[in-house]
Structure 1
Amino acid sequence: MSHQQVQVFILHLGQQQSIGPDDLRVMWATACESMDIAVSRRPPSQGQHANGRPCFGLWAGRQFHRVPAEKRMRRLLEARGFQFTLTHTAL
């Protein structure tokens, strides 16, 4: 990841759902309309609210436009039948 990229969303998929890193990267780049992106995967949480749902970080560069990218990403995920939550992180 570039040192100029920041994590802008956390994506949780529904139980028993997953996505490969290359596929997610393509979807996120499409949503951002930029190749200045990255994705990361976190292991399922082990705490009190552990539910085993896959968790991914979505990263973007400085030219990132949050609202249109979020709308496009939500449409892409919905079109593929994912159940998900997409949570903003502080910039």
Structure 2
Amino acid sequence: MSRQHVQVFILHLGSQQSIGPGDLRVMWATACESPDIAVSRRPTTHGHATARPCFELWAGRQFHRAPAERRMRALLESRGFLFTLTHTAL
């Protein structure tokens, strides 16, 4: 990630769910109301049958956490995802 981005959330999806990086990027940019974002996928533990897809959500320094979180949760719920969205320190 660029030095202008900070990691703000970790997203875990349900064990039988997935999302492509392009779709996730669009959803996260929409939630942040900014193209100044990044997403990355964390590697899953091999051989662990219940491993859930895990993603890191990054934003620019001018990020507004509470409204972006509400919008991201609404977007994920509207698409039927089972998920946890965990805050990380800014």
User: What TM-score comes out, normalization by structure 1 length?
Assistant: 0.92
> Identity rate of aligned residues, in percent?
82
User: What TM-score comes out, normalization by structure 2 length?
Assistant: 0.93
SS in 1 for 2:24: helix
Q: Distance in 1 between matches of 2:89 and 2:71?
A: 20
Instruction: Give per-residue Cα distances to partners, 1:26-78, cap 9 Å, x unaligned.
Output: 000000000000000011146xx983100000000011000000000000000
The answer to whether the 8 A contact 1:45-1:51 is kept is no
Aligned to 2:7: 7
SS in 2 for 1:12: strand
Aligned in 2, Cα 1:61/1:50: closer, same or farther, shift over 3 Å? farther
> Which stretches in structure 2 are left out of the alignment for 5+ residues?
none
The answer to whether the 8 A contact 1:5-1:61 is kept is yes
> Pairwise mapping of residues 4-83 of structure 1 onto structure 2 (< 5 A)?
4-45=4-45, 51-83=50-82
Q: Distance in 2 between matches of 1:68 and 1:35?
A: 16
Give the CA RMSD over aligned residues: 1.5
- Give runs of ≥4 in structure 1 deviating > 3 Å: none
> Which stretches in structure 1 are left out of the alignment for 5+ residues?
none
SS in 2 for 1:59: strand
